[in-house]
Amino acid sequence: KVWAYLERTQILSTNESQSSHAFQYESCDNRDKFYRHVSKGGWPFSTSAHGWPISDCTGEGLKGVLALMDSPIIMSAVKEGVIKNIEPSRLYDAVNVILTLQNEDGGWATYENNRGFGWYEELNPSEVFGDIMIDYSYVECSMASLTALAEFHEKFPRHRTKEITFAIHRGGEFMRSIQREDGSWYGSWACCFCYGCWFGIEGLIKAGESHNSPAIKKCCQFLLSQQRPNGGWGEDFTSCYDKDYAKNGMESYGDEGSGVVNTAWALMALSAAKCSDVDAIRRGVHYLMKRQLDCGDWPQEGISGVFNRACGITYTAYRNVFPIWALGRCVATYGSILDEDR
């Protein structure tokens, strides 16, 4: 089902979508005429009818296809005609979208390239949303895009080799350039610094950064300094609009100041960095295990998502997806040492 979903939602890539009225606007002449970016090969925020390719959605869609290509069950079903094939040319189209969406600063924005300046925010007519006048490069979009290019390059090393390796290098340089003085990264699409740190660490490592580099170590120290006495981490979306870590943000909506989603993000970051403070990892893991409900669910806590700095959004799946992912990654990284006494 996942393969079939990725196949049918890739923008202007199926026979059905290419026979639609929308496909004519993908020509070079029409893109120039209507100031449209290339769309073919990208993945959108929702379904193919949405139509707009987004950098991180395209990156994650591409990574999803690449991962499923390693499944004998999927490849057998493709060979037998049970599910439709996704030809390499379609992956090349996705790579083209990602490469063309890279900004001059080396990062990636969301829907389009950066076409303006930060001072445009002085003209922001909104009374609610912040940082909306141009599309900025983000740590999240940059991580998703460069890791997709890196994983594609591992499977297709001869396709646009120089362009891809240079794009990955530039992406890593951008991510280093926006790391804050305290070692953290500001997350723009969720709450907030625990989230940003996960993307920052994972992106840098995929770009070739050593686990022992100063940037990685500094971020680990930041996260470790924010771990709460109960083993968890917690902040709410005041971090987003204050752009400062909300140390007590989850006191009202979490568990003694910690939250399961923030804790999962912090553990994802630390385990990706292979943090040597195993006791901190162990305490975080035990916190997530303790917070799991008898039914297998994790509790719904405070808002964990955000758009445009001040629009809080509740993604109900986060409370289960990220703890499961974090626990799995910690076990894969640290193994049975997590079971040992302090």
Residues known to be catalytic:
56
Which two three-digit tokens encode residue 78? Answer: 């493709």
According to DSSP, residue 184 is labeled -
Instruction: Report the C-alpha gap between 13 and 20 in whole angstroms.
Output: 11
CA distance 209 to 49: 38
Give the CA diameter of the chain: 66
Report DSSP state, residue 258: B
User: Of 22, 57, 51, which is closest to residue 39 (Cα–Cα)?
Assistant: 51
Joined tokens for residue 328: 């799995």
As given in the structure block, the two tokens for residue 167 are 């794009």
With contact defined as beta carbons under 8 Å apart, do 135 and 109 qualify?
yes
Burial of 188 (0-12, 13-18, 19+ CB in 10 A): buried
Q: What angle do CA 13, 172, 236 make, to 5 degrees?
A: 85
Give how far Cα 67 sits from Cα of 2, 103, 144, 305, Å: 11, 27, 14, 26
Alpha-helix runs per DSSP H in the chain: 2-9, 15-18, 28-34, 55-68, 72-79, 88-101, 139-155, 161-177, 193-206, 214-226, 238-242, 260-272, 278-291, 318-334
